[in-house]
Amino acid sequence: MTPDKHTTIFVIGDSTAANKDTTGGKQERGWAMMLQECFDADYIVVDNHAVNGRSSKSFIDEGRWDKVLERIKPGDYVIIQFGHNDEKPKADRHTDPGSTFDYNLAKYVRETRERGGIPVLMNPVVRRNFFVVAPKNDDDEKLRTSTFKDGVKMIEGDTLYDTHGLYRVAPKDVATRMNCHFVDANTITHNLEQGLGTEASKKLHMWYRPGEEPSEPKGKQDNTHYNIYGARVVANLLADALCQEVPILSKYRKK
């Protein structure tokens, strides 16, 4: 396959998938940063456009979707994953499942197809939430500037609780209605975190005690964003699911 015949997998979404600053030993990673490792780069190129703090609405409003549309060629794939920020109250990001959230997802699907691309809807990955009552969180991005002492002091149990509600259901509904590929990233990551349990699941995230990680000397309790290890584990699980949903991609899956 010649270089101009590469198939591209575009990713659009939020901070759970986004490219991160890796300078100075920083550990935070989005899962889509690791997706290229899962595929043979001679045939599949991953082009990650996910950005911290974006919702299905703001990604469009800021012109980011138009830039992706310009690059899609027939046969390319577009992974669409939003929800973490659509549920936030700020007007520039908020959408409603069953209404504006679904409309935006359908727009991504429709316009990808108009360019000859193949859309793949994913619902949001889970937050590591073992609290019986989820702590109030109106902005996941605030976790990035927090330290260990800023973390919630509530006692955790043994059960992982959902924080996304209908935002995890809507992408599957849209996929069914539009006969679109769908990967249940929410269930996959739920099973991962629940399987690891309360303590071991911290190893997936930016969760460090003071002095434990040189790049985070004051520590951090971030139950949303992944570290290098977590992003790699999640990327491989989602790559496996993607290949199961789109079997032709399994030819280029790296083990």
User: Are residues 146 and 218 in contact, defined by beta-carbon separation less than 8 angstroms?
Assistant: no
The two structure tokens encoding residue 65: 């979707």
Instruction: Return mean pLDDT, the chain.
Output: 93
Q: Using one digit for the tens of pLDDT, what is the confidence trace for 89-110? A: 999 999 999 999 999 999 999 9
Give the whole-angstrom CA distance, residue 72 versus residue 20: 23
Instruction: Tally Cβ neighbours within 10 Å of residue 135.
Output: 13
Count of C-beta atoms within a 10 Å radius of residue 18: 23
Residues 220-243 pLDDT 10s: 999 999 999 999 999 999 999 999
| 81-92 pLDDT tens trace | 999 999 999 999
CATH H-level superfamily of 7-252: SGNH hydrolase (3.40.50.1110)
**9 touches 39 (CB < 8 A):** yes
For the chain, which residues make up each domain, given as ranges? 7-252
Q: What is the pLDDT of residues 148-168, one digit of tens each?
A: 565 656 678 899 999 999 999
* Amino acid at position 72, single letter: I
Report how far apart, in Å, the C-alpha atoms of 124 and of each of 39, 188, 222 are.
Answer: 22, 10, 17
> Is the model's pLDDT at 2 over the cut of 50?
no
**Chain segment 173-204, per-residue pLDDT in tens:** 999 999 999 999 999 999 999 999 999 999 99
**Which run of H or of E encompasses 177?**
helix 170-178
pLDDT over 60 (residue 143): no
Residue-wise pLDDT tens digits, 42-69: 999 999 999 999 999 999 999 999 999 9
- Residue 26: pLDDT over 60: yes
What is this structure's pTM? 0.92
pLDDT of residue 1: 39
